[in-house]
Amino acid sequence: MKRKIDAFAYANEILNAIGKGVLMTTKADGQVDTMTIGWGTMGIQWGKPIFIAYVRESRHTKKLVDSNPEFTINIPLGEYDKNILGFCGTKSGRDVDKIKELNLHLEEGESVSVPGIRELPLTLECKVIYKQEQVKEAIAPDALQRYYADGDFHTAYYGQITSAYIVE
Ligand SMILES: Cc1cc2nc3c(=O)[nH]c(=O)nc-3n(C[C@H](O)[C@H](O)[C@H](O)COP(=O)(O)O)c2cc1C
């Protein structure tokens, strides 16, 4: 069962969880992939509730979200297997089926074609309404040196939150 929530009423839980790691799930060309993200922003743009995820060029996730511009954000609540975030943050969907390897249970999306994940039950369904590649020249020198020495820049994906719920 999906218990509908107001995403902003859970802002504390969501924003605190991001720093520890949450999942971003994508689906395209018959494949579901999920990766750990440690950066994210939630707010309002164009009068819509938005979750922004930052995805590096090298991620398989980028290929999928560019092909099908939707994603879900999957946030743990209470006890969960910490191995999930480690595995999904180090293995690529190019090489392994992370859903199968971890025996994760997918929950069909309501407003998007991308599923949620039962094991990380607080779910934001998002449709990309804007994306922006980071511009090297606009990044402060210290961040540039610390995060982009390898030239693997992020693209910001602005997802309109079209549904939010807890899988119970
Ligand atoms: C704690 C943690 C946070 C991470 N945050 C991000 C992030 O915000 N953006 C990103 O592009 N990669 C991030 N990563 C790296 C990806 O999760 C990792 O490269 C993953 O293997 C990519 O999977 P994919 O190739 O299937 O997309 C993070 C990894 C960890 C462990």
Is the CB–ligand 1 distance for residue 56 below 6 Å?
Answer: yes
36 within ligand 1 shell (Cβ under 6 A): yes
For residue 35, the model assigns a pLDDT of 98
Distance 89 CA to ligand 1 centre (A): 5
Side chain identity at 139, as an amino acid letter?
I
* Cβ count within 10 A of residue 149: 8
Q: From the alpha carbon of 90, which atom of ligand 1 is closest?
A: 21
Atom of ligand 1 nearest to the CA of 64: 27
CA of 40 to the centre of ligand 1 (A): 12
Question: Rounded to the nearest 5 degrees, what angle is found at the Cα of 39, between the Cα atoms of 37 and 113?
Answer: 50
Residue whose pair of structure tokens reads 């199968």 in the numeric block: 100
Could you tell me where the beta strands, DSSP code E, fall in the chain?
Answer: 2-4, 22-28, 31-37, 40-45, 48-56, 70-75, 106-107, 116-117, 122-133, 154-167
Atom of ligand 1 nearest to the CA of 53: 8
The pLDDT score that the predictor gives to residue 159 is: 98
Average pLDDT along the chain, 168 residues, taken 10 residues at a time: 97 96 97 98 98 98 98 95 96 98 98 98 98 96 96 97 97
The neighbour count for residue 9, using CB atoms within 10 Å, is 10
Is 0.75 surpassed by the pTM of this model? yes
Centre of ligand 1 from the C-alpha of residue 35, in Å: 5
What pLDDT, on a 0 to 100 scale, did the predictor assign at position 15? Answer: 97
Could you give phi then psi for residue 112, rounded to 5 degrees?
A: -135, 165
Neighbour-count burial for 152-167, b at 16+ CB within 10 Å, e otherwise? ebbbebbbbbbbbbbb
- pLDDT on residue 69: 98
* Ligand 1 centroid distance, CA of 65 (Å): 14
Neighbours of 84 (CB within 10 A): 21
- Separation of CA 130 and ligand 1 centre (Å): 21
